[in-house]
Amino acid sequence: MKRVFFHVALAAGILILCAAGAIGGATYYYTSQRGAGCAGCHEMADYVGAVHASSHRSVGCFDCHSTGWAAKLRHTAVHLSGRTPEAIRLRDVDVVEMTAKCQSCHQREYATWRAGPHSATYAQIFTNAQQNATRRLMDDCFRCHGMQFSGSIGDIVQPQSLNGPWRIVRAGLASEPTMPCQACHWIHREGLPVSKPVARFSVAGAADGESLAFFDRREQMHFAIAELPLPQIFDRARPVNVSPDQRQALCYQCHAPRQPDAESAAARNNWGAQAGSGDDRTPLGVHEGISCFTCHSGHGESTRASCATCHPVMSDCGLAVEKMDTTYANPASKHNIHWVKCQDCHTHGVPRSMHRGSEFVKPIQWNER
């Protein structure tokens, strides 16, 4: 009996040693070559090639992607079975993990994004009672929220009705962001590594526009901002002066105007996409023609302090612009900052000296910097 036990223990010991050696060797093989080892599997070759041509070329695959046992076993099973997916994509959980890894290098950007509205969680977006009680939950929500989520709307929130209370089906995602870094940034984009500027610009200053890209859920790929369209927008029949800042093309993918309803005067007269419709925030009135990025900082979206970039702290009226209650965030308000007009305040007529419209503010163009 002792002899049998000895042989079993010896065999198990040898197996453990072999496994440890093999796994240790594999880990070294992959990590020591900054991803070249990953390209040994032909399914990975294109992706590794893309990373080595990207601005993240100095980062190894395993600095961002999972190296756990489960991942290794899953990759091996897929590879050996030959059931390789048509395109290799990050899973929901990988996207969540990735966001935390972005933080390790981009701490300032992460902190401002985390404090801003674009870090809204699955629970905040999909169990919002005010929203869900008036509008039907639908897969189209994923176009701008949770775009990397692999299931349908019923897989993330229940019940699918106007009557709550609503709950997140996959509880682990409830506190995770619906608009992670990869929603607006293309990590594997082609380009040179970006060096940080010596001095930071203000909210109106340059952002890393080259990394901006929209992750399109339907195509399961990023579209760089240079490829995204800037819309032609009308305020009734009048063409709206839209800033040519190409970075806005990213904003417009979600904050977009709609084509007019079929029976409307706008449709009958071919007025095209109407300002203020859909989720549109295109500036009209006194702010017409300026870019989203003139007031909104890229990650935090904070805008209050940006007023002082163009306006004197004390306005011509003697009001402190940063303290004015203009009901600027209320879309129903005529003082909404996006489309407030001179006449909205000067109800008895606009003083001649102020009659300069949008020419008053000449926005700094992205490509002028």
Stretch touching another protein by CB under 8 A, among 11-19, 55-63, 289-297, 350-358: 11-19
Note whether 263 binds another protein by CB under 8 A.
Answer: no
Alpha carbons within 13 A on the beta-carbon side of 97: 12
Selection from 51, 366, 52 nearest residue 209 by Cα: 366
Stretch touching another protein by CB under 8 A, among 42-50, 90-98, 118-126, 146-154: 42-50
Note whether 79 binds another protein by CB under 8 A.
Answer: yes
User: φ, ψ for residue 157 (rounded to 5)?
Assistant: -140, 140
Is the bond into 257 cis (omega within 30 degrees of 0)?
A: no
Pick between residue 220 and residue 365 the one whose CB is nearest to another protein: 220
Pick between residue 20 and residue 111 the one whose CB is nearest to another protein: 20
Number of residues in the chain: 369
User: Which residues, 6+ apart, have CB-to-CB distance to 98 below 8 Å?
Assistant: 64, 65, 90, 180, 181, 182, 187
DSSP conformational letter for 181: H
Is residue 99 a contact partner of residue 133, using CB atoms and an 8 Å limit?
no
Contacting residue, 6, 13, 40, 171, with another protein by CB under 8 A: 40
User: φ, ψ for residue 5 (rounded to 5)?
Assistant: -60, -40
Least spacing, CB of residue 298 vs another protein, in Å = 20
Write down the number of H helices and E strands in the chain. Answer: 14, 6
Pick between residue 48 and residue 98 the one whose CB is nearest to another protein: 48
Residues 151-210 that bind another protein (CB under 8 A): 162
Contacting residue, 10, 100, 107, 135, with another protein by CB under 8 A: 135
Least spacing, CB of residue 153 vs another protein, in Å = 14
Region of 151 (left: φ > 0; alpha: ψ -120 to 50; beta: rest) is beta
Q: Point out which residues bind another protein (CB under 8 A).
A: 15-16, 18-19, 21-26, 29-30, 37, 40-43, 45-46, 69, 72-73, 76, 79-80, 82, 84, 86-87, 133-136, 140, 143, 162, 214, 216, 218-221, 223-224, 227-229, 231, 252-253, 256-258, 273, 277-280
